[in-house]
Copies of this chain bind each other. A is one copy, B any other.
Amino acid sequence: MTDLKNQWLFVKRPDPQADSSCFRLVETALEPLVDGHIRVRLHYLSVDPYMRGRLDDVRSYAPPQPLGQVMEGGGVGEVVESRHPKFKVGDKVLGYFGWQTIADSDGRGVRRVDDSIVRLPAYLGAVGMPGVTAWYGINKVIEPREGETIVVSAASGAVGSVAGQLAKAKGCRVIGIAGGPDKCRMVTEGYSFDDCIDYRAPDFAEQLRAATPDRIDGLFENVGGRILDQSLSRMNALGRIAVCGLISGYSGESIPINNFRSILINRLKVQGFIISEQPGIWAEALAELAEGVATQRIRYHESIAEGIESTPEAFFGLLSGRNIGKQIVRVIRDGNI
């Protein structure tokens, strides 16, 4: 191992757009490991939509990302040195290690993972935070019944693709919404949704209506804006909406919603949630997701960017919808898979 690590510092808040000038890559010397800590060599980093919200210095569910510090985020890697009683060298671990090649941690929030069952990067996606988000929204908010119509926005993404497959397994008619024909094909052919609508199509509203002849009983909402608004107008009586991300609002612009009235007219339940606040369900959700992925009942797809240098670019690509599936950064080019 080298005596240096690479780190992406967050150096400038978006004004208002986030761009590459917000981050700076630095080389930092490794210090001796503190007692009670582990040192992790990162194999894969996660970039996720929620990170955009944290770049702004505004009140939100998480404190803003501090300026001048390593950009925070989830990752998986291997313990290369341990002065912590619960971890040993060679352990594969998942944690919020930040955008860097090597991370020291006191072990809080670090989870040991088994890469003989599920590939390591999948712990950042279908068997990680995005998968658990999908699991909670479907099972604890929407609670779909057989035969109901469930609509999932950002359907080709890490969260949406799992949400739709979980609803499908419950006997629902599942309609995805995604951006562009390639993503839509992935949603119907790869993830077996019943249909997928391109939100860029000029007749999007018309297509959504045609694809939901019995209206919408459950909406898994990842996007917000116009897509949410159209879906609201198609809701059935007593419908449920899980709101776990509003990508179209992550860049700070306001999202005017015209069909709020549907909440009254259709007696909807709308529930916003952040999966990190639901620690009680992680074990059950992860077990189910790992089994689904291992048996290929749950499919997933990754967009992998190569090298720590590519992290901001991968993140911006995610925000503008250029990725398909879970966006991952491979830190070690000569990886172990």
CA distance A259 to B246 in the complex (A): 12
Residues of B within 8 A of A61 (CB): 237, 264-267
**8 A Cβ contacts from A266-280 to B:** 266-274, 277
Residues of B within 8 A of A271 (CB): 267-270
Chain B min CB distance to A116 (Å): 36
Copy total for this chain: 2
Q: Are B258 and A267 in contact (CB under 8 A)?
A: no
Does A17 count as interface, using CB distance less than 8 angstroms? no
Residues of B within 8 A of A266 (CB): 61, 272
Does A244 count as interface, using CB distance less than 8 angstroms? yes
Does A60 count as interface, using CB distance less than 8 angstroms? yes
Chain B min CB distance to A325 (Å): 22
Q: Are B261 and A258 in contact (CB under 8 A)?
A: no
Does A180 count as interface, using CB distance less than 8 angstroms? no
Does A255 count as interface, using CB distance less than 8 angstroms? yes
- Do A264 and B277 contact each other (CB < 8 Å), given the known contacts A256-B256, A270-B270, A271-B269? no
Interface residues of A (CB under 8 A from B): 53, 59-61, 224, 228, 237, 243-246, 249, 254-261, 263-274, 277
- Sample of 8 A–B contacts (CB below 8 Å): A59-B265, A61-B264, A224-B261, A249-B261, A256-B258, A269-B270, A270-B270, A270-B271
Known contacts A255-B258, A256-B257, A269-B272; 19 further A-B pairs (Cβ under 8 A): A53-B265, A61-B265, A224-B260, A228-B260, A243-B264, A246-B260, A246-B264, A254-B261, A255-B260, A255-B261, A256-B256, A257-B260, A263-B270, A263-B272, A267-B272, A267-B274, A267-B277, A268-B272, A269-B269
